Amino acid sequence: MTIAEVENLFEIGELDPNFIHTPSVYVQSIIEGKQEKRIERLTVRK
């Protein structure tokens, strides 16, 4: 089962299919996130 948490919901046809990573056939549930979550962290070498 795949659950996708998304920041924005779009109407069908609004997005270019070439930029979709997980086809809808694999997603059973969509949850709209209420706040932005930073999953990337900036790291610098000393």
Residue type, 30: I
pLDDT-based confidence at residue 37 (cuts at 50, 70, 90) = low
pTM: 0.41
- Domain segments of the chain as ranges: 1-46
By the 8 A CB rule, do 28 and 3 touch? yes
The tokens describing 27, both together, are: 């997603």
- To the nearest whole percent, how much of the chain has pLDDT over 90? 0
* 3 state SS of 45: coil
Among the listed residues 40, 2, 39, the one whose alpha carbon sits nearest the alpha carbon of residue 23: 2
